[in-house]
Every structure is written in structure tokens, then in C-alpha cells.
Structure 1
């Protein structure tokens, strides 16, 4: 789960699958002269939309972070639990959508863990991440020969998925409001980072430079739950409050800088 803080101390709680849905919407809009492709393959769009499929069961019964009294933020969940969810997601994707989607989910999981230097991890977290890496490298060895995509195509799609994931996190408010740059993505003839910025005081418009989408603007949306200020003393109360929380739409329009 991820959270967009509000000025009164309350927050919008967004499930990982809902955030991934925004990634899928962005993937479907990707294309044009700057991107260097007319559109992305349908299986890639599916992978972008489902890259957090491993979180489905957890989101239905989230666990409480004793530090905040709220459901665990996606970056705060202990690594042994976090890696288990990713592993389950790869297995579910393989069974439900086939080898290419599962491979992209697996590669994305490794890319996420590579963003944090190993030397900063606790021994327990490092052990969990190393187990996950070994497991996923073995899984990828089984999945890759079953796909029709070339290594170059898979590398490009992995890079785009990582960028779309970051863009969605920014849109959802999980990265704050400071300008961001995505990891390098393949555009027409070059690798480039996309600069992301909120031009105003609201969350409803984000500029992107260079512009990798077909249309002059792209509007994306998902649903969130409005949690009150403060935390909860126990897990049952937290889950009941989350289930009863008002549902609110999150909408953002992306435009060129």
C-alpha cells in the first residue's frame, strides 16, 4: 500500500494493484515519434498493469505497521514478507498470463531491489534479498526460453516498466512533490531519462519531458481510500476502518513540459 499525505494529516491510501493499474494506463498511451514505436505490445501493457499482482491477497488483509499504526507502506514492509509477495506475484503471473508477463514481473522485482545498495541493508534483509535474487534468476532461466521476445526487446521493456512504475508512484503521491527523473528509457535512437514535475500546487497535472506518448495529453486515474489522521491501535480496527473509508478517485493529466 502507498499513501498520499493530505494537509490535515489524513492520507489517501492506494493499493499496490491500483497503482499498477496507472502504470498500465501509461503503457497503453506510450508511443509516437519521440518514443520511436507506434505502441507497446499488448503483453507488455498487461505486465505493466499487473506488475504488483503479488500484493492482491495482502491488500485484502493488510498488516499493521507498529511505527505508524497504519497499514505498512510498500517500502516499509519487512523484506522477508516483501520478497515473498514478489515471488507469489511471479508465480501467479506465470500461471495466469504466461512466461513473458511473468518474466517482466520477475525482472522488475530484481530492478526494484537493485535500487537500494546491499551495504545499507540489515543482515536479515540482505539474506531475504539474496534468497529472492537466487530464486528469481533460476525462474528467469526457465521463463526466458519460453518467450518469443529477443533479449534486446526484453531489456527495453524492463527499462520502460521501471520508468512507468516510478511515474505512477509520483502520480499517486508516494514520492513527494519534488521534481524527479526516471531511469533511462529507450526512445527514438537513444536512451533518455524523463523529467517529471508538478507545475502547480495540486496533484492533478504532471509535466513530462521529453514527451513519449502518442496524444497531446494523457489522463490516468485510480481509486483510493481516505484514512483519517493518526494510526490505529490494533490490526482489526485498522482493517475495519480501511474497509469503511470513503473511496475517492485520483486523477492526473500528463502534459509536455
Structure 2
């Protein structure tokens, strides 16, 4: 669950809704400047479904001992490893390449996205260490297996898989920019030391997406997002195949307060209809 904190309300996005938004970005990625995705089907699939295992948590979300909704960065590590693994396995059944990128994605998250996002603290708890001890050898074996598969020819070298791993981070971070920040016009600074900014993700998922792959074999660049109206954002440089690109994400709005236990919180959450938040992305 991604929890965006407003002055008087929370917007709660399930991880699958966050993934749906990431998939919209992937489905329209590529133009004269930015290379189209390869393999396209696999990459659009993993962008949309990379967090599908979170369903097991989000279908029955929880509050902490203070009655505050638990956001994704504070989800108990023992639960996280279990349902993330289920999600990776289900994706591998559909598409090995997509499953590989998802598996690398989740292995990279507690390791500063494999060094591509150094502002995020690394995780060293016992559940994370156990998860990585199982996941990393599996990923290396799968890289070798995918590298021998003709259906992924042209995109299955180690370098290209690494390129696509970084692409996945862009789609994920762009979606989290919209989902973590209640007010896109009033963002937390990346260097914010406030605990709530860091625990909610606001301090990490800001308006600069770096590194951003541009073309395979070319140095990565960065994307900068700037709010020009409440629901309209300028992106520079512009990476999509149409302009404006109209995207949307669904979430539930609940009062910002301390809830008296899981039953009350879940009742309020489930009684709220899903609202659709729409955005238009435009070039400079």
C-alpha cells in the first residue's frame, strides 16, 4: 500500500494500482530520442505487474500500533519477503524475461536499487538478508537461461538485461512520484531528514528521475518533472510516443486520523469508493 499524506486525509493506492500507472508509462515509452522497449511485451508486462504479489497484503491492509495506515516502506519484512516471492513466481509463469526483471527489481530495492538510488538507506535486517541469499543466485541462473532463449534475442545479453533493469526503475519511480506525493506542487526536498518524509517515500520519489536510460550503449540521462497546473506536468526531456500523454491512477481517500484497530480501519477503507486521479504529461 502506498499512503500519500495530506493535511486532513490520506490517499491510499494499492501496489497493483501503482503498477497499473507504471505500465501506462511503459506502454508509451519511446520516440526519436528514447529507444522503444525491447522486448516490448515483456517490459510492459513487468512494469504493470512487478508488484502483483502485494495483493496478499493490500487486500487486507493494516495500521500500526498508533493506528496509522502502514505504507509500503514500513511493511513488516517477514511478510514482505513471502508475498513478493509469490508475485515473482506468478510472473515467471507468464513470461521469463518479465519475471527476471521483477526478481532483479525486488532484489535491488533493499540495496539502493543496485546503487542507482544512493539516497535510500540499505536494509540489513535478517528477513532481507535471507531473501537476498535466495534471490541473487536464482537471478544469476535466470540471466543465463534467458540469455540462451531465441525469443529474447537482441535483448538478452547481460548488458541489455541491466539496461532494462534500469528502465524498470524509471517506470517504478515515476509512478511512485505521483502516488507518494499528496501535493505535487509542494514536494519534499531529496535531502529532507524528516522521518515522515523518508518513511513515506516523499523524500526519495521526487521530480528528478536519475539515471534514465536513453539508448542502449549511450550514457544514461535524467528526467525532470515540473507541475504547470494541478494535473498537468511538463517532462524534460520528453520520453513518450504521444503528447500529451494522459494517464490515471485509482486510489481511496480516507480521513487522516488515528484508527482504533484493524477492524475500524479496514471498514473505513473498504467503504470508500476508488477515485480516479488523472494527469496530462506534456513536453517542454
Note whether the superposition's TM-score is higher than 0.5. Answer: yes
**Partner in structure 1 of residue 282 of structure 2:** 255
Q: Select the residue among 57, 70, 73 that pairs with 1:72.
A: 70
CA offsets, 1:104-131, max 9 Å, x none?
111111222122444xx5xxx5222221
Q: Using structure 2 for the length normalisation, give the TM-score.
A: 0.80
Tell me the C-alpha RMSD between the 2 structures: 2.0
Q: Separation in 2 of the partners of 1:111 and 1:34?
A: 27
**Partner in structure 1 of residue 234 of structure 2:** 207
CA offsets, 1:202-238, max 9 Å, x none?
2x12221111111122111121111112131111121
**Partner in structure 1 of residue 138 of structure 2:** 139
**Partner in structure 2 of residue 186 of structure 1:** 213
Aligned residue for 1:197, secondary structure, equals strand
Greater Cα shift, 13-22 or 29-38: 29-38
Q: Select the residue among 110, 115, 122 that pairs with 1:113.
A: 110
1:43 and 2:42 equivalent?
yes
Q: Separation in 1 of the partners of 2:263 and 2:281?
A: 38
Structure 1 contact 29–215 (Cα < 8 Å) conserved? yes
Unaligned stretches of 5+ residues in structure 1: none
Q: Separation in 1 of the partners of 2:145 and 2:57?
A: 29
What is the number of equivalent residue pairs in this alignment? Answer: 247
1:244 and 2:271 equivalent?
yes
Say if 1:205 and 1:39 are closer, same or farther in 2 by CA, change over 3 A: farther
Structure 1 contact 22–220 (Cα < 8 Å) conserved? yes
Aligned residue for 1:156, secondary structure, equals helix
Unaligned stretches of 5+ residues in structure 2: 113-119, 147-151, 188-205
